[in-house]
Amino acid sequence: MATSFHVSLGSAQWTLTVALLSGAVATPVLGRLGAGRHRRATILATLAVVVAGSALTVLPLPFAWLLAGRAAQGVGLGLTALMMGVARDHLPEERSAAVIALISVVSIIGAGVGYPLAALLAEFGGVRAAYGLGLVVTAAALLTAWRSMPEAPEGRSAHVDVAGAVVLAAALLLVLFLAGERNLWSRHLAVAAGLAVVAVVLLCVWAVIELRSTTPLVDVRAVRHPAVAGANLAMFVGGIGMYLLLTLITRYAQTPHGAGYGFGLTTFVAGLVLIPFSVLGFVAGKLTPRVRTRIADPLLLAGSAVVVGGGFALFAAARSDLAELFAAMGVLGFGVGGFSAAMPFFHPGRHSQERDFERHELQLRRPQRRVLPGQRHRRPDPRRGHRPRPPLPRRQRLHHRGAGRHRSHGDHDADKPRSRPPTLVRDQPV
């Protein structure tokens, strides 16, 4: 990028930074707009902005216009939360969890597919050709959404905290600018320190605005909850680790042999290293809804963070062979896919009975074994650590059934008149 547009490496890095900045600001704003009845219009307008930004990156315009196009493309990063809302409102409950988990890891899947294709196009057609692929994909997404996106449920309203969005954008812009301009800290330390103070003040002002707003962009009070703070910290550290290791491994793979390390791969071949990252990230996203029924969400997030750390440890210990780079990227993808898929379901202060209810639901969906009548009311042996529970009267069981609670298969059969006991033992679904 720096060579194609004759700019410094620090300036070229803003093609990535500005997209992440606009995505960070657009995510809460689009979340508020999408919470109302205009969710379909919000999604279509956002995709139209992304298409317009993609067109700016393709046209032969100066570098400043390319940055503007990249900023417009970054707005599309806020669509992930809206897609989760669509899945939650319009899909059956038994399917929505799996679809939401898949939406959470779709960016991981796109990295493994998009980067190699973009690198291949950049080698043969230049940077503009690679951005042309993005224009085609986003235009197809806009057409698909226009034809198939349903309307939001009626009776919902949305209000956007404009002041909070503006202050947040200014604060994040200063933070990212100071993080990326190393020369400013070395040559003009006083200016950099002054801008850092301004950024901190803006973040404090933004927090006050959010606390006083009736419809805040971010629920700052919820962030103070230990469970939410821990989840956000895990996601923050995991995101930093993901981008660090992605950049480090791809650059390591392209470093010429003359430097004493690296493999001297082309941009396209180095992009293929991301394929294990996407594949195992997809696998983790598919497994997460099932794993959540067996372990607690904090434990799942912590385990995923440990897996991400394992990717770093593997790369630090073994990187002399290309297969070892593939293995490190696969471990990283599995960890990132795990906590990305678990994060949308994380609720602070969730009561343990609700988790027990979910596990009970899973057991009810599994095949159960029909037993003989004499075995139906057999109680667990107290000597094995099971405490027998006395049976409820029939009237209370019917009351619990009307309240929406599940009864065991044996109690359900006991309420029904039976002409004769079953004579076969076979697996049947409940």
Tokens describing residue 208 = 């006050």
Ranges of each domain in the chain: 1-158, 161-216, 219-369
Decide if 338 contacts 284 (C-beta within 8 A): yes
Radius of gyration over every alpha carbon of the chain, rounded to an integer in angstroms: 27
Tokens describing residue 50 = 């992304």
Query: Which residue's structure tokens are 């490190």?
Result: 328
pTM: 0.69
Pairwise CA distance, residues 30 & 40, whole Å: 11
* pLDDT value for 121: 87
What phi-psi label fits residue 188: left (phi over 0), alpha (psi between -120 and 50 degrees) or beta? beta
CATH topology of domain 1-158: Growth Hormone; Chain: A; (1.20.1250)
* pLDDT value for 138: 94
* pLDDT value for 395: 53
- Say which residues have a Cβ less than 8 Å from residue 178's Cβ, sequence separation at least 6: 184, 185, 192, 195, 196, 199
Q: For the chain, 430 residues long, give each residue's pLDDT as a single digit of tens.
A: 777 888 887 788 888 888 988 888 888 888 888 777 788 888 999 999 999 999 999 998 999 999 999 999 999 988 988 888 888 888 887 788 778 878 877 877 777 778 888 888 888 888 888 899 899 999 999 999 999 888 877 655 567 788 888 898 889 888 888 887 778 888 888 999 999 999 999 999 999 998 988 878 888 887 777 777 777 777 787 778 788 888 888 889 888 888 888 888 888 888 888 889 989 988 988 888 888 888 887 788 888 888 988 999 999 998 888 899 999 999 999 988 888 888 777 655 444 344 444 444 444 444 444 444 444 444 544 444 444 555 555 555 555 555 544 444 444 444 444 444 444 444 444 4
- Say which residues have a Cβ less than 8 Å from residue 300's Cβ, sequence separation at least 6: 288, 291, 292, 338, 339, 342
